[in-house]
């Protein structure tokens, strides 16, 4: 049997500042009919570029310089644009990372669904509508009859991702490229999308290239795994072999990331005054009540992880603590003293003591300001240092976050990598010499290796400076790594809280249980076992809904 | 749908408020013009008694605030007052015919002409700009794109009278296809009217096309990097379909706003073209009235111009809101 996709010695370049730099260096790949290949690597490894190249597609500013891409005997590199358009959508389909961004906001789902089949002459519109409803049903979307007649903004993220899979299936293609389809989703939602995708790919015997940075996810989905690093192929093997016996050092290091865990700290003395005490806080956006009676304490030198899905009120709690959103009732105490509800009524010292590090270092740093000034501003504002003293302090802070000052002081944020930008965000928070830092999903936009570096840095700073952290995250691996105590939130309420070791040992609140059991594990049978155990109707949104 | 209606009502109220503020500004500005009507009409040999008599007759001796509210009260009831210039001053020699031309009577035919010219121009310019903008986006950075950009920029950068004379030279003098004078009068057939209006309309088309076309192009290109455009391309759709079906509906809001701005310009800013073609529009009337200090006409023209701007922008806002499915179909 000849291969469906055959990529040989493919070189791809991208343009930056008038020069072409390599993105993929001589990758080769073979995919048979009905097979699922996992492409794994960190951001910048070129996995999306390679995935798109398998469709004969390159983004603007990217070009294929050498090599061949054969799809079912057709050379996609030399094929005319019209010939490729005939294949795209019809025989090769694509599922993008963010369905919310990849569905056109101006058209109903079903209109976007039927567009491919109608334009390619595969089905009439009415046939395609019927088929779409059937696909929605198979993908276990709620109300398959009518969900397609909604606009993208009226449908939740996990449902959109399944609708996009249905759209990819609309012409019954031979190959689907899944480009990080679950990365933007909550764990409980991710699981049902994974299950749906896996089922439908099996049902139609579709070949797939599944791109992700999450090893545990790829373990559930792929027959074979290929590891990429900075455009170079590291190794390839079938899933079980790869998980059991990775050959290359790099692969082993990827596997090992999840091993980082801080040692357990001794219990806090009873009667010690917490650094931050959140007491019965409720808050609302306009008339919509978003926090209900939230209480927890954060002690000196401790990390409290606040866990929950998007919309559970984690970030809102942070906004209440910082005074950006004054609570409707309840109290925030700092070192035993009540804090004014509104940040405008707090004095400079109260403001200085609580700092924030944001999820998107990209948008949290002023792109037109040098690193020296970004960190220098809080140094001057809070500590009153100017001139040489200010510069010396900024240099100290840069050393603290392990970036050589001489090299970075005059750079702009755009000249830094994602992990380095996040370190600058940390230095900016440290510049105020606070006791307490709120870390809002600080590692979720980063690759695992880089994220681990950030976590280790935060852990060291905590030990050196006796910092207290409130660590907002939806990633339970991060919680395991860094937290001392855990607060689980759902729909604006605290459903469970306690020391970390208690949280990971049963029995716990059913919601915590659901969250924990939804985190994919590095076992290729994990998803199958879980589905057998819980049943397909008892995962994801359905399970969450049953609980409330 | 409920929220859309609320937004529209809010905008409508804001528009009315703006119009009120503008009316105050107009009244103040017009009253700050040096000289007055009585002086202007009686000339150098005016006796103070005659000037006073005319001023009193026209109510110019009243304090400004009183006059403002009289004017506003009238305007709200659709009475824009009487034109000074057309007033029959025969009354001063004891032979008043009792007939006075109202401002409304004077402005109405002129305004209708202006609207006709604006409508003809819009019917040519808007589709041409949209099509050129879409094509320029489709063939971006090609020879076609550059040529379109250069041509439209040249035409917007040239003075209007120059464009008008160039068109007259080519379309009326060298190839006598169209009349170079647009003397329009009542009772003309639609066809004749259209023929006479075509040259000024073409001139104005050259003036307004660049702005609308470039905005269409930019608004579409701005979206081409969006994930949903990439998705459309990966579905194997033709480039034309990607742009018209997937980019254009999301680019409508800025395009609509620029179109509204240009349509407002067509109603309020075409004096030069009217003069060149001797087109009896409101622009000429406005300039003439300023010259002779015919205050009621000036004020009425200003108010109409302001209302046109506000109404068209309001309409643009509403259409932009309606082009956003998030507002049309709330969760």
pLDDT one-digit tens code per residue, A498-528: 888 887 777 778 888 888 888 888 888 888 8
Asked whether residue B91 carries a pLDDT value surpassing 50, the answer given is no
Sign of CA pseudo-dihedral B267, B271, B274, B276: negative
Average pLDDT of the residues in A77-86: 91
Q: Is B1 on the interface with A (CB under 8 A)?
A: no
pLDDT at res. B119: 94
Determine, for residues A119 and B226 on separate chains, whether the beta-carbon distance falls below 8 Å: no
State the average pLDDT for chain B. Answer: 86
CA dihedral B218, B219, B222, B223 (to 10 degrees): -150
State the average pLDDT for chain A. Answer: 88
Which residue(s) pair with A296 in the sheet? A278
Average pLDDT of the residues in B123-141: 94
Set of chain A residues whose Cβ sits within 8 Å of the Cβ of B225: 60
Average pLDDT of the residues in B142-168: 92
Q: Which of A111-125, A233-247, B98-112 has the lowest mean pLDDT?
A: B98-112
- Give me the residue label for tokens 């057998």: A532
Please write down the long-range contacts of A458-463, taking CB distance under 8 Å and 24 or more positions apart. Answer: A458/A426, A458/A482, A459/A262, A461/A400, A461/A426, A461/A430, A462/A301, A462/A303, A463/A301
A&B contacts, CB < 8 Å: 75
Determine, for residues A154 and B249 on separate chains, whether the beta-carbon distance falls below 8 Å: no
Q: Is A93 on the interface with B (CB under 8 A)?
A: yes
pLDDT at res. A360: 83
Instruction: Provide Rg for chain B, Cα atoms.
Output: 24
DSSP for residue A286:
T
Average pLDDT of the residues in A303-318: 88
Residue-range domain boundaries for chain A: 5-258, 276-520
Higher pLDDT, A460 or A287: A460
Q: Is A286 on the interface with B (CB under 8 A)?
A: no
Q: For residue A464, how far is the Cα from the chain centroid?
A: 29
DSSP for residue B170:
I
Asked whether residue A4 carries a pLDDT value surpassing 80, the answer given is yes
Q: Is B226 on the interface with A (CB under 8 A)?
A: yes
Asked whether residue B65 carries a pLDDT value surpassing 90, the answer given is no
Determine, for residues A119 and B237 on separate chains, whether the beta-carbon distance falls below 8 Å: yes
Taking residue A391's Cβ as centre, other Cβ atoms within 10 Å add up to 16
Asked whether residue B90 carries a pLDDT value surpassing 50, the answer given is no
- Report the residue of A106, A156, A179 to disrupt the B interface, i.e. the one with the largest count of B CBs within 10 Å: A106
Set of chain A residues whose Cβ sits within 8 Å of the Cβ of B236: 84-90, 116, 119-120
Q: Is the peptide bond before A507 cis (omega within 30 degrees of 0)?
A: yes
Determine, for residues B237 and A85 on separate chains, whether the beta-carbon distance falls below 8 Å: yes
Q: What are the pLDDT digits (tens) for A376-407?
A: 999 999 999 999 999 999 999 999 998 888 88
DSSP for residue A88:
B
| Residue B245, min C-alpha distance to chain A (Å) | 9
| Residue B127, min C-alpha distance to chain A (Å) | 22
B197 half-sphere exposure, CB direction, 13 A CA radius: 26
Average pLDDT of the residues in A316-322: 92
Per-residue burial over A302-336, b if 16 or more Cβ lie within 10 Å, else e, is: bbbbbbbbeebbbbbbbbbbbbebebeebebbbee
Asked whether residue A540 carries a pLDDT value surpassing 90, the answer given is no
Which residue(s) pair with A289 in the sheet? A284
Give the C-alpha separation, B69 to B23, whole Å.
11
Q: Which two tokens stand for residue B109?
A: 């035919």
Set of chain A residues whose Cβ sits within 8 Å of the Cβ of B232: 104
SS3 for B45?
coil
Q: Which overall architecture, per CATH, does domain A276-520 show?
A: 3-Layer(aba) Sandwich (3.40)
Q: Is B193 on the interface with A (CB under 8 A)?
A: no
List CB contacts of A54: < 8 A, sequence separation 6 or more. Answer: A5, A7, A29, A31, A69, A71, A92, A175, A177, A209
Select the residue of B232, B236, B331 nearest A154 (Cβ to Cβ).
B331
Q: What are the pLDDT digits (tens) for B202-224?
A: 999 999 999 999 999 999 999 99
Task: Name the band, by pLDDT with cuts 50, 70 and 90, for residue A308.
Answer: confident
**What percentage of chain B has pLDDT greater than the value 90?**
40
State the alpha helices, DSSP H only, in A245-385. 249-256, 314-322, 348-353, 361-364, 371-383
pLDDT at res. B93: 46
Taking residue B32's Cβ as centre, other Cβ atoms within 10 Å add up to 8
List CB contacts of A287: < 8 A, sequence separation 6 or more. Answer: none
Q: Is B237 on the interface with A (CB under 8 A)?
A: yes
State the alpha helices, DSSP H only, in B139-241. 143-157, 160-168, 190-223, 227-234, 239-241
Set of chain B residues whose Cβ sits within 8 Å of the Cβ of A86: 236
Q: Which two tokens stand for residue A3?
A: 């291969």
Task: Name the band, by pLDDT with cuts 50, 70 and 90, for residue B100.
Answer: low
CB-based contact B15:B22 (threshold 8 Å): no
Q: Which two tokens stand for residue A541?
A: 């949104």
Determine, for residues A96 and B231 on separate chains, whether the beta-carbon distance falls below 8 Å: yes
Q: Which two tokens stand for residue B186?
A: 């009542």
pLDDT at res. A125: 94
Q: Is A153 on the interface with B (CB under 8 A)?
A: yes
Q: What are the pLDDT digits (tens) for A423-470?
A: 999 999 999 999 999 999 888 878 777 888 899 999 999 999 999 999
Phi, psi of B50 (to 5 degrees): -60, -45
Q: Which of A320-324, B21-25, B27-31 has the lowest mean pLDDT?
A: B27-31
Per-residue burial over A97-131, b if 16 or more Cβ lie within 10 Å, else e, is: bbbbbbbbbbbbbbbbbbbbbbbbebbeeeebbeb
CA dihedral A51, A55, A61, A63 (to 10 degrees): 100
Which residue(s) pair with A66 in the sheet? A11
Average pLDDT of the residues in B171-176: 88
Q: How far is CA A357 from CA A315, A322, A421, A529, in A?
A: 12, 12, 11, 38
Give the C-alpha separation, A93 to B235, whole Å.
7
Q: Is A521 on the interface with B (CB under 8 A)?
A: no
- Listed ranges A243-257, A282-296, B29-43; the one with the highest mean pLDDT: A282-296
What one-character-per-residue DSSP string does A174-232 give?
Answer: SEEEEESTTTTS-HHHHHHHHHHHHHHHHHTT-EEEEEES-HHHHHHH-SEEEEEETTE
The CATH number of A5-258, from 1.10.1370.30, 3.40.630.10, 3.30.360.10, 3.40.50.300, is 3.40.50.300
pLDDT at res. B185: 80
Q: What share of chain A is helix, strand, coil (3-state, %, to 5)?
A: 40, 25, 35
Determine, for residues B235 and A119 on separate chains, whether the beta-carbon distance falls below 8 Å: yes
CB-based contact B321:B29 (threshold 8 Å): no
Asked whether residue A541 carries a pLDDT value surpassing 80, the answer given is no
Give the C-alpha separation, B224 to B231, whole Å.
11
DSSP for residue B97:
-
Asked whether residue A233 carries a pLDDT value surpassing 90, the answer given is no
CB-based contact A292:A493 (threshold 8 Å): yes
CB-based contact B178:B171 (threshold 8 Å): yes
Q: Is B35 on the interface with A (CB under 8 A)?
A: no
Chain A residue with minimum CA distance to B325: A106
- Report the residue of B138, B222, B236, B331 to disrupt the A interface, i.e. the one with the largest count of A CBs within 10 Å: B236
Phi, psi of A74 (to 5 degrees): -105, 130
Average pLDDT of the residues in A139-153: 90
Please give the ipTM for the structure prediction.
Answer: 0.79
Sheet holding A288-298, edge to edge: A288-298, A276-285, A329-334, A337-338
Closest CA to B216 of B308, B142, B125: B125
- Report the residue of B224, B233, B235, B239 to disrupt the A interface, i.e. the one with the largest count of A CBs within 10 Å: B235
pLDDT at res. B60: 77
Phi, psi of A305 (to 5 degrees): -90, 130
pLDDT at res. B94: 45
CA–CA–CA angle A374, A377, A382 (5° rounding): 140
What one-character-per-residue DSSP string does B46-76 give?
Answer: --HHHHHHHHHHHTTTS-HHHHHHHHHHHHH
Phi, psi of A25 (to 5 degrees): -110, 90
Give the C-alpha separation, B273 to B203, whole Å.
8
Characterize the bridge pairing of strands A485-490 and A468-473: unpaired
Q: What are the pLDDT digits (tens) for A37-65?
A: 999 888 777 888 999 999 999 988 889 99
Average pLDDT of the residues in B160-185: 88
Please write down the long-range contacts of B259-265, taking CB distance under 8 Å and 24 or more positions apart. Answer: B259/B126, B259/B129, B259/B212, B259/B316, B260/B312, B260/B313, B260/B315, B260/B316, B261/B211, B261/B312, B261/B313, B261/B316, B262/B125, B262/B208, B262/B211, B262/B212, B263/B118, B263/B122, B263/B312, B264/B308, B264/B309, B264/B312, B264/B313, B265/B208
Set of chain B residues whose Cβ sits within 8 Å of the Cβ of A85: 236-238
Determine, for residues A154 and B231 on separate chains, whether the beta-carbon distance falls below 8 Å: no
Q: Is A107 on the interface with B (CB under 8 A)?
A: yes
Q: What share of chain B is helix, strand, coil (3-state, %, to 5)?
A: 75, 0, 25
């Amino acid at each position: 049997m000849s291969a469906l996709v055959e990529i040989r010695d493919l070189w791809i370049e991208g343009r930056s500042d008038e020069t072409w730099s390599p993105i993929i260096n001589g990758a080769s790949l073979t995919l048979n009919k009905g097979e699922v290949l996992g492409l794994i690597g960190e951001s910048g490894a070129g996995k999306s570029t390679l995935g798109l190249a398998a469709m004969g597609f390159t983004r603007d500013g990217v070009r294929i310089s050498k090599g061949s891409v054969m799809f079912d005997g057709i050379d996609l590199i030399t094929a005319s644009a019209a010939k490729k358009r005939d294949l795209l959508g019809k025989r090769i389909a694509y599922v993008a990372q963010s369905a919310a961004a990849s569905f056109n906001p101006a058209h109903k789902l079903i209109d976007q669904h039927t567009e491919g089949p109608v334009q390619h002459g595969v089905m009439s519109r009415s046939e395609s509508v019927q088929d779409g409803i059937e696909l929605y049903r198979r993908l276990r979307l709620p109300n398959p009859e009518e969900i397609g007649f909604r606009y993208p903004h009226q449908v939740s993220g996990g449902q959109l991702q399944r609708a996009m899979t249905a759209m990819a299936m609309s012409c019954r293609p031979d190959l689907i490229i899944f480009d990080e389809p679950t990365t933007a989703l909550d764990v409980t939602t991710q699981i049902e999308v994974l299950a749906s995708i896996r089922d439908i790919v099996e049902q139609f015997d579709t070949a797939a290239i599944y791109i992700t940075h999450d090893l545990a996810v790829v373990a559930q989905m792929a027959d074979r795994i290929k590891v990429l690093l900075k455009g170079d192929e590291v190794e390839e093997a079938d899933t079980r072999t790869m998980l059991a016996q990775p050959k290359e050092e790099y692969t082993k290091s990827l596997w090992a990331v999840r091993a980082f865990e801080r040692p357990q700290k001794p219990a806090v003395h009873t009667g010690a005054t917490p650094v931050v005490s959140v007491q019965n806080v409720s808050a609302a956006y306009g008339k919509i009540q978003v926090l209900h009676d939230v209480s927890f304490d954060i002690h000196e030198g401790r990390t409290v992880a606040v866990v929950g899905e998007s919309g559970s009120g984690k970030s809102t709690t942070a906004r209440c603590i910082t005074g950006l959103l004054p609570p409707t009732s309840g109290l925030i105490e700092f070192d035993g003293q009540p804090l004014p509800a509104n940040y405008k009524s707090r004095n400079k010292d109260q403001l200085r003591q609580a700092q924030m590090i944001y999820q998107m270092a990209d948008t949290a740093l002023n792109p037109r300001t040098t690193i020296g000034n970004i960190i220098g501003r809080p140094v001057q504002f809070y500590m009153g240092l100017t001139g040489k003293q200010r510069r010396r302090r900024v240099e100290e802070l840069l050393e603290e976050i392990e970036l050589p000052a001489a090299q970075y002081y005059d750079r702009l944020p755009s000249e830094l990598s994602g992990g380095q930008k996040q370190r600058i965000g940390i230095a900016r928070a440290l510049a105020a010499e606070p006791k307490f830092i709120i870390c809002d999903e600080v590692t979720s936009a980063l690759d695992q290796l880089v994220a681990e570096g950030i976590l280790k840095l935060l852990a060291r700073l905590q030990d050196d400076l006796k910092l207290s952290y409130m660590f907002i995250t939806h990633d339970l691996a991060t919680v395991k790594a860094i937290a001392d105590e855990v607060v689980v939130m759902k729909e604006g309420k605290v459903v469970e809280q306690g020391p970390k070791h208690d949280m990971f040992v049963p029995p716990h609140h059913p919601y915590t249980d659901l969250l924990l059991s939804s985190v994919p594990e590095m076992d290729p049978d994990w998803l199958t076992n879980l589905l057998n155990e819980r049943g397909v109707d008892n995962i994801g949104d359905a399970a969450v809904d049953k609980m409330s | 749908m409920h929220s859309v209606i609320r937004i529209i009502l809010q905008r409508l109220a804001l528009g009315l408020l703006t119009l009120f503020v503008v009316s105050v500004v107009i009244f103040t500005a017009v009253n700050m013009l040096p000289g007055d009507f009585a002086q202007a009409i009686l000339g150098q040999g005016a006796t103070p008694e005659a000037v006073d008599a005319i001023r009193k007759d026209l109510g110019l001796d009243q304090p400004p605030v009183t006059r403002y509210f009289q004017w506003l009260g009238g305007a709200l009831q659709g009475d824009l007052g009487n034109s000074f210039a057309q007033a029959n001053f025969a009354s001063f020699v004891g032979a008043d015919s009792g007939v006075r031309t109202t401002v409304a009577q004077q402005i109405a035919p002129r305004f209708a002409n202006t609207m006709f010219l604006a409508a003809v121009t819009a019917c040519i310019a808007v589709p041409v700009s949209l099509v050129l903008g879409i094509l320029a986006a489709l063939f971006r950075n090609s020879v076609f794109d550059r040529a379109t950009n250069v041509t439209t920029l040249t035409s917007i950068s040239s003075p209007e009278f120059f464009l008008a004379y160039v068109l007259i030279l080519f379309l009326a003098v060298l190839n006598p296809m169209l009349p170079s004078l647009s003397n329009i009068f009542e009772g003309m057939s639609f066809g004749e009217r259209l023929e006479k209006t075509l040259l000024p309309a073409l001139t104005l088309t050259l003036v307004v096309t660049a702005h609308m076309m470039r905005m269409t192009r930019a608004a579409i290109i701005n979206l081409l990097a969006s994930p949903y455009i990439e998705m459309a391309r990966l579905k194997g759709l033709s480039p034309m379909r990607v742009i018209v079906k997937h980019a254009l509906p999301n680019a409508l809001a800025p395009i609509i706003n620029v179109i509204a701005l240009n349509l407002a310009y067509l109603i309020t800013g075409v004096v030069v073209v009217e003069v060149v073609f001797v087109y009896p529009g409101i622009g000429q009337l406005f300039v003439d009235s300023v010259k002779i200090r015919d205050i009621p006409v000036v004020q009425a023209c200003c108010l109409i111009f302001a209302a046109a701007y506000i109404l068209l922008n309001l309409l643009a806002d509403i259409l932009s809101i309606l082009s956003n499915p998030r507002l049309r179909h709330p969760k």
